[in-house]
Structure 1
Amino acid sequence: MRTAAWKGIGGVVLVAASATAAYSPPARRWCLGYGATDEEVAGPLPGDELLPHPDLQSTRAITIEAAPATVWPWLVQMGSGRGGAYTYDWIENLLGLDMHSADDIVPELQHLAVGDVLPLGPTGPGMRVEICDPEHTLAFRSTNGDWVWIFHLSSYWLGTRLVSRNRIATTRTSRMQRLASRLVVEPGSLVMERRMLLGIKERAEWSAPGAETLLV
């Protein structure tokens, strides 16, 4: 019995050690900077000042073959109980986030303004709109002040460069929670945010002026 117990403990330690080794500094940099250039990762964005010294920052990006004016409406309508997050709804809804990704621009969800607070599920903190600069920057800060999420659009050749940055304070979490975040939450956020960026790209490109002609 004692031997079996030790084998079980040894297995847990081995899995934990393997996960830690696999999530090396280069892998972590790739995870937190997926799709972004070195300049985008290191450069400032409007809204950084909302959480000046984050404990964790991710900067992920994608190129969209549509103008910022076409991308912007898809960003504005995002949210729980709104236009969703264009990612894996079934995973979001396992967490009770009420996400239902829209495939069309919803006119009644286009009137977002600074000061609006969007819910993040039944128990999460609200996300307050701090910057709403049409076709350029949309920035949210959680009502508990621990999370800032910035979307920044810039013209890129004939399309748009979309950068999504998360700045997070973890000082109120335990060491074990921070370890779990690094090994589980950070890679998980890459999976979800990558799908979100691709979801925005797909929707913006198929709704861009002239897209119907290209599809014929």
Structure 2
Amino acid sequence: MTTRPFIVGIGLVAAMGATTITYLTWIRPWVMTWGATDDEVAAELPGDELLPAADGVATRAITIDAPPEAIYPWLAQMGPSPRGGAYTYDWIENLLGLDMHSTDQVLEEFQHPAVGDTIGVGPEASRVEIADPGRAFVTRTTDGDWVWSFTLVPVGHSTRLISRNRFRLPGLAKKLAMIPMEPGSLIMERKMLMGIKERAEALAHAG
């Protein structure tokens, strides 16, 4: 009477194990490095020193047909209202209560972030750690467990925008919980990078 449920249970465990191995071996490397070259993934970038012993690193990148000075303004003003949003799927962000409203305008009042400035409130708040116009913009969560850096690398008349997330996950439960969240983070960040690209190119081409 108990043999069949036992066999079914073993089969489910085996299937889950095979799925996890497939994801970790073949899919996860692409998820965590979308758009980035091998050299960019391996490069030491501004902000890496803020969390050297990270449990995970995601390096994603995009080419933008604009100079760094047309890209940095969109990075400098990122954040919840009244800041400029995150240029991704606002409705998803706001389901989580993040109050994001992506703007197509450069907001002058947020164009001069300084080290020590706080973006957001509560457990989601981040502190500006590097604000180097045209080169890098880096924030770190107030608990120190997440560093998000944006690095601008000119390439001819274009710019490579490299986004890197370094995160620390205390405890096994948080490490396991992150696995199914990684593909979702790619969906959101890909949209964000494309949103910045669209806005920066429009700004550059408008002079």
- TM-score, with length taken from structure 1: 0.86
Instruction: Report the residue type matching 1:93 in the other structure.
Output: N
Deviates more, 1:103-112 or 1:30-39: 103-112
- TM-score, with length taken from structure 2: 0.90
Distance 1:112 1:86 in 2: 18
CA displacement at 1:104 relative to structure 2: 1.1
CA displacement at 1:124 relative to structure 2: 2.2
Q: 1:71 maps to which residue? A: 71
Q: 1:158 maps to which residue? A: 157
Q: 1:192 maps to which residue? A: 188
CA displacement at 1:177 relative to structure 2: 2.8
1:20-58 residue CA offsets vs partner (Å, 9 max, x unmatched): 144132311111111000000001001111111111111
CA displacement at 1:5 relative to structure 2: 7.3
Distance 1:132 1:188 in 2: 27
The 1:83/1:181 distance shift into structure 2, 3 A limit, reads: same
CA contact 1:125–1:144 (8 Å) conserved in 2: no
CA contact 1:57–1:168 (8 Å) conserved in 2: yes
The 1:8/1:42 distance shift into structure 2, 3 A limit, reads: same
Q: 1:113 maps to which residue? A: 114
Distance 1:51 1:101 in 2: 28
Distance 1:190 1:205 in 2: 22
Instruction: Report the residue type matching 1:132 in the other structure.
Output: A
Q: 2:173 maps to which residue? A: 176
RMSD of Structure 2 on Structure 1 (CA):
2.2
CA contact 1:76–1:112 (8 Å) conserved in 2: yes
How do residues 53-72 of structure 1 correspond to structure 2 at under 5 angstroms?
A: 53-72=53-72
Name structure 2 gaps, 5 residues minimum: none
Q: 1:38 maps to which residue? A: 38
1:137-156 residue CA offsets vs partner (Å, 9 max, x unmatched): 10111110101100000111
Deviates more, 1:16-25 or 1:156-165: 16-25
Distance 1:118 1:12 in 2: 44
1:41-99 residue CA offsets vs partner (Å, 9 max, x unmatched): 00100111111111111100000001100011011110122111100111111110111
CA displacement at 1:136 relative to structure 2: 0.2
Distance 1:14 1:101 in 2: 43
Structure 1 vs Structure 2: percent identity of aligned residues?
Answer: 52
CA displacement at 1:10 relative to structure 2: 6.8
1:171-203 residue CA offsets vs partner (Å, 9 max, x unmatched): x23x23312211x11111111111100010011
CA displacement at 1:7 relative to structure 2: 9.2
Name structure 1 gaps, 5 residues minimum: 212-216
The 1:105/1:99 distance shift into structure 2, 3 A limit, reads: same
Distance 1:4 1:125 in 2: 47
Instruction: Report the residue type matching 1:66 in the other structure.
Output: A
Distance 2:116 2:201 in 1: 30
Distance 1:210 1:178 in 2: 45
